[in-house]
Structure 1
Amino acid sequence: MTTTDEVVEQILSTYDTITVVGASANPEKAANEVPAYMREQGWRIIPINPHADEIVGEKVYRSLADVPEQIGLVDVFRPSADAPEVARQAVAAGASALWLQLGIASPEAREIAEQAGLLYVEDRCLIIEQRRTGLQPPRG
């Protein structure tokens, strides 16, 4: 059995791009602060938001299905009730990891992700985990 800490470390050391569902253009929200921080640390950010054109200096896509490249890690800033649908969209988009931010958890999303073979983390903050582990994005 793999612990959540092991999955966190695997994700942070494997993915150099983070696709952020629910990214916010508001710099006072965690859904903006976290992607901005991760970008400063060297990760590439692909924001997903149906109401913005640019977030943290990156082009925004309306949905996961609209991203024109292979998606790996999907980071979720949506209410827990939305997580199962985001998990289904992540699976459909070919993602290989799903991360629900701090305060977001869903047994249904976990089941969807794990049945599809995705790495899965819930109720954890990327900033906290990156600082705890000291990991940097892989260099390709």
Structure 2
Amino acid sequence: MMLSTNTKQKTLGLLVAGLTDRAVATRLGVSERTVQRYVRALMEGAQCRNRMQLGRHAALTGLPVSEPVPAPSGRTPDREGRQLLKALLDDACEEALRSLHMSRRSLERRIKDLMTMAGAQSRVELGWRATLWGWV
């Protein structure tokens, strides 16, 4: 699917802002399924395999944002949290489960904790913020 530059920027900007696919669809005036196609096209174009990688790609390519997002003062992930972020950004979730001795449920809980720490509403936003702030 070929997306216009404007559609790419709007979609990625809304995802980085933490909106769900449904909310992005409402903002863009398209269906949720169309947004999922947009996300897949964005991921393919950026050679990303998951949404966190898409967030990192947005940060590394300098996605324009309306306001800078300051890192939470004094709060950074511990060693295990950084390992987990790195594994997720490297698309090595199964390896993370083994090396960190976590169940899938514990992994999901830890991701939610990292999202809370970062003030992120989505994995795309978490990948973007973690990259901007040098957490990974």
* TM-score, normalised relative to structure 2: 0.27
For the pair shown, the structure with the greater C-alpha radius of gyration is 2
Q: Looking at secondary structure, tell me which structure has more helix per residue.
A: 2
Bigger relative CO (Cα 8 Å, ≥ 6 apart): 2
* TM-score, normalised relative to structure 1: 0.26
Q: Looking at secondary structure, tell me which structure has more strand per residue.
A: 1
